[in-house]
Amino acid sequence: MQSKVLFLRRMHVFHYLWPLVFILFILWLIGRLNYFKTSQFSSQALQIAFLLKVISGGVIFLLYTYYYPIRKDADTFKYFDDSKYLYDALWTKPGDFFKMLFGINCENDYFKSNYYSNMYNWYRAYDNGLLNDNRLVIRINAIFRLVSFGNYHVHSLLLNFLAFIGSFSLARLFFEYSKSKWKTYLAVFLIPSVVFWSSGILKEAVLLFGLGLFGWNFHKLMFDRWEWKRIPILIFLLAILLVMKLYVFIAFVPAVIAWWISKYSKRTILVHFSMIIGGIFFGYALAWIVPELNFLNIIVDKQRDFINLSKALNVNSAIEMSYLEPNLWSFVKATPNALINAFTRPWPTEIKGILFVPPLLENMFIIGILILSWFYGNRVGSREWKFVIFCLTFSIILFLIIGLTTPIIGAIVRYKIPAIPFLMIAALMFFDSQKLPKSITQNKLLLWINSRL
């Protein structure tokens, strides 16, 4: 009996020590790897940024443990829990494990009855025929179990590190154009919603990993010497975006292509506008060839499912939204309201609890930065201008898609985080801090913080 009690105590201690080992190891990697050391940011500043994600991951764990008591419906637990069934197959039937891991001949009654019937999220409640992003996150967590020993917090740390790599890659990209450490650090590492929702065992961590690495590698391909080895990397990263969040892929790819074309043109805005129009015509052509991929119908169905879900669950943060019709004019009429919803919600009159306050304050902060950039603005060079328009194109398209389809404030706040860093850096690049009063520009604390970045 005593030996059993001693064993349980040791396991309890190990449960907390093992995540600590990973925290220390990742902090050591950030301080030692050349990929991080060759950037403009100090190791200490990057380590602090990672620790902010660790804290956010802990808050997410507590939030979903006590605020959302139904574990199978809690985002941060459901992928972790489902991954156990996939991982266990490695030790009982390795062939099944690798088939499920790589998606080979695993969609049949045998796998459904032996594995998927035990999972809550291998199949989505609302399957619109598009790629299932749940499965990629479940597979990643199954791989993490090889080193985690089933410890939730180790999974959270590993996904935090993936998200941090993506954020750091974005920071390298943004610094190339802003030439400002504090502007870049603020836009990438300090926006609360971005830090929070890309921490823990959530899809956004993988999404940010793919988005940041793609942006940095694409920039290197555009402006440095051509390297063929970057092509398969970019294709792999695009595949991650396509699987994880189709709406981010749809918003990001036209903006990236327009950014590349604008490198050879002086009419930057015209290039981006033409790319958007061309994308709409491409969508119509694709719908004519493959009716199942009619983008208007997909968005209409997505919105209808979301509205019906919000009504069925009586969601606290639901907003009024009219149903779209599968025609272009219906989308045009809904566009202004969609952009307003995505950019400004929640409003002060919609505060129904403490969880509404952080996104409200963040929206006010972002609007404040936009106003400051207007009154204390400065001109930017041609290269920087092209990058700003790319950032705005991506942000506006993403905001539009979210605003058209999402009738829940909480979901709006979460879905738009891929665009927030791009919107922030676009605004901050116009902001000339030297035009501020000297009491701010010469503040010793602010100068010291900037020197430590």
Cβ(47)–Cβ(30) below 8 Å: yes
Cβ(74)–Cβ(112) below 8 Å: no
Asked whether the CA dihedral 95, 101, 104, 108 is positive or negative, the reply is: positive
pLDDT in tens, 223-267: 877 777 788 888 999 998 888 888 899 899 999 999 999 888 888
Residue 7's pLDDT is 45
Q: How far apart are alpha carbons 346 and 364 in whole angstroms?
A: 10
Q: How far apart are alpha carbons 359 and 293 in whole angstroms?
A: 34
pLDDT in tens, 171-185: 999 999 998 899 999
Single out the residue of 134, 162, 147, 142 nearest to residue 99, CA to CA. 142
Q: How far apart are alpha carbons 188 and 40 in whole angstroms?
A: 14
What percentage of the chain carries pLDDT values higher than 70?
Answer: 94
Q: How far apart are alpha carbons 171 and 185 in whole angstroms?
A: 7
Q: What are phi and psi of 5, to 5 degrees?
A: -65, -40
Is residue 452 predicted with pLDDT exceeding 90?
no
Is residue 5 predicted with pLDDT exceeding 50?
no
Residue 64's pLDDT is 86
Q: What is the mean pLDDT of residues 21-36?
A: 93
Cβ(163)–Cβ(208) below 8 Å: yes
Quick one: angle between helices 268-289 and 382-405, nearest 10? 40
Quick one: angle between helices 357-375 and 420-428, nearest 10? 30
- Ordered alpha helix ranges (H), 33-151: 34-37, 43-66, 75-92, 94-102, 109-114, 133-148
Specify the DSSP class assigned to residue 92. Answer: H
User: Which one has a higher pLDDT value, 448 or 157?
Assistant: 157
pLDDT in tens, 31-67: 999 989 888 899 999 999 999 999 999 999 988 888 7
Is residue 420 predicted with pLDDT exceeding 90?
yes
Token pair of 225 as six digits:
């010497």
Q: What are phi and psi of 66, to 5 degrees?
A: -110, -25
Specify the DSSP class assigned to residue 372. Answer: H
Tell the burial category of 178 from Cβ atoms under 10 Å away from its Cβ (0-12, 13-18, 19+).
buried
Quick one: angle between helices 94-102 and 133-148, nearest 10? 140
Cβ(375)–Cβ(204) below 8 Å: no
Q: What is the mean pLDDT of residues 354-362?
A: 87
Single out the residue of 343, 35, 384, 50 nearest to residue 190, CA to CA. 50
Q: How far apart are alpha carbons 374 and 393 in whole angstroms?
A: 19
pLDDT in tens, 315-352: 778 888 888 888 888 888 989 999 999 999 888 888 88
Q: What are phi and psi of 314, to 5 degrees?
A: 55, 55
Is residue 451 predicted with pLDDT exceeding 80?
no
Return mean pLDDT, the chain.
86
pLDDT in tens, 276-310: 888 888 877 877 887 777 778 888 888 888 888 88
Residue 47's pLDDT is 95
Most confident of 66-70, 334-338, 431-435: 334-338
Q: How far apart are alpha carbons 428 and 434 in whole angstroms?
A: 13
- DSSP assignment of 155-212 equals HHHHHHHHHHHHHHHHHHHHHHHH--HHHHHHHHH--HHHHHHTSSSSHHHHHHHHHH
**C-alpha 373 chain-centroid distance:** 25
